[in-house]
């Protein structure tokens, strides 16, 4: 939280503060749509990236090696959150919370082969972060994973759980769900959980395929899943009727409809599109960061 002093109250969680001034109908919705997959809305978009691609190539020539659409999608999403903080809410225990931090999750392969192990990169960002901050933080997290062959925190927790006999493991997972419901999970577990965070993103373009609608997880509190695909080329007519080749990237977002209404999501998706089309806006910090309601 930026610029506001907030004293934790009863009912708040380690990862977020409970929102108490929302309309009654919105506060009631999580008691009707209890599971996250009950509340999934799906959005599909496409962005023409001819100018965006040119900007990325220019930045790579300036020394930002590997700067690509992954960094841009994350930076654009963070900038949207700085303007529309409701996007960074989550539902847990049938209550709606404003998350303290912006946490982006991404599954990363340790190598470039089909059988390479996969683990979770979980990176915290500030709402004032620029594309350069995103580039630095994401690359540092990915490089650390690929350089360190030892298990990450996520893998260590999973390995310990898998040593438990099946029936007891089912009970352990049930117990973790109960603890999560009441906000009793330790901070050490939240910090490595791929199921808790602001957004999970997958770059399917790196696999050479188009994006999918990925489900949300009922365990944890991730409110959004963003997938984007490979670049595609199309032939279109310009305003003079002449054929021209253009490049597009398709993306799909699955989101929890309980945290904000449709008008809010529509505004967020328009902002996202704007920043993807105008990446130079992400080179500097936002003029103002909007705080979520209390």
Q: What does the alpha-carbon distance between residue 144 and residue 71 come to, in Å, rounded to a whole number?
A: 17
Q: What does the alpha-carbon distance between residue 200 and residue 194 come to, in Å, rounded to a whole number?
A: 8
* pLDDT over threshold 60, residue 258: yes
* pLDDT over threshold 70, residue 24: yes
pLDDT digits over 116-128, tens only?
A: 677 888 999 999 9
Determine what percent of the chain is predicted with pLDDT higher than 70: 95
- Contact call for residues 71 and 134 (beta carbons, < 8 A): yes
Question: Would you state the structure tokens that stand for residue 23, as one six-digit string?
Answer: 């309309």
Strands (DSSP E) found in 40-186: 40-48, 89-92, 95-99, 102-109, 118-125
* pLDDT over threshold 80, residue 114: no
Amino acid 111: pLDDT: 65
When the pLDDT of each residue in the chain is averaged and rounded to a whole number, the result is 92
Mean pLDDT of 264-280: 97
Q: What is the pTM of this model?
A: 0.92
Provide the 10 A C-beta neighbour count for residue 132: 16
| Phi, psi dihedral angles at 7 (to 5 degrees) | -95, 125
pLDDT digits over 216-247, tens only?
A: 999 999 999 999 999 999 998 888 889 999 99
**DSSP codes, 74-98:** HHHHHHHHHH-GGGGEEEETTEEEE
Task: Please report which confidence band the pLDDT of residue 248 belongs to, taking 50, 70 and 90 as the band edges.
Answer: very high
Task: Please report which confidence band the pLDDT of residue 47 belongs to, taking 50, 70 and 90 as the band edges.
Answer: very high
Q: What does the alpha-carbon distance between residue 283 and residue 55 come to, in Å, rounded to a whole number?
A: 11
pLDDT digits over 163-189, tens only?
A: 999 899 999 999 999 999 999 999 999
Provide the 10 A C-beta neighbour count for residue 242: 8
| Phi, psi dihedral angles at 108 (to 5 degrees) | -125, 135
């Amino acid at each position: 939280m930026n610029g506001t002093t907030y004293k934790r109250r009863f009912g708040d969680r380690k990862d977020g503060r409970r929102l108490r001034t929302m309309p009654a109908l919105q506060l009631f919705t999580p008691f009707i749509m209890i599971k996250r997959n009950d509340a999934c809305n799906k959005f599909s978009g496409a962005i023409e990236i001819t100018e965006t691609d040119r900007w990325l190539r220019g930045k790579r020539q300036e020394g930002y090696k590997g700067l690509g659409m992954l960094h841009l999608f994350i930076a654009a999403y963070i900038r949207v959150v700085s303007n529309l903080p409701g996007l960074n809410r989550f539902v847990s225990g049938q209550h709606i919370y404003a998350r303290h931090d912006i946490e982006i999750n991404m599954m990363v392969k340790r190598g470039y082969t089909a059988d390479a192990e996969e683990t979770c990169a979980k990176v915290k960002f500030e709402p004032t972060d620029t594309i350069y901050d995103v580039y630095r933080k994401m690359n540092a997290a990915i490089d650390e994973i690929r350089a360190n062959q030892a298990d990450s925190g996520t893998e260590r927790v999973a390995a310990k759980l898998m040593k438990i006999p099946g029936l007891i493991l089912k009970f352990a997972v049930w117990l973790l769900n109960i603890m999560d419901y009441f906000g009793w999970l330790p901070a050490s577990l939240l910090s490595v959980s791929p199921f808790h965070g602001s957004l999970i993103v997958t770059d399917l373009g790196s696999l050479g395929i188009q994006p999918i609608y990925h489900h949300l997880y009922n365990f944890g509190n991730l409110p959004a899943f963003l997938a984007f695909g490979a670049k595609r080329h199309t032939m279109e007519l310009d305003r003079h009727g002449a054929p021209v080749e253009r490049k597009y990237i398709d993306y799909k977002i699955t989101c929890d409809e309980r945290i904000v209404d449709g008008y809010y999501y529509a505004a967020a998706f328009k902002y996202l599109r704007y920043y993807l089309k105008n990446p130079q806006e992400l080179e500097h910090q936002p003029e103002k960061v909007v705080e979520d309601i209390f």
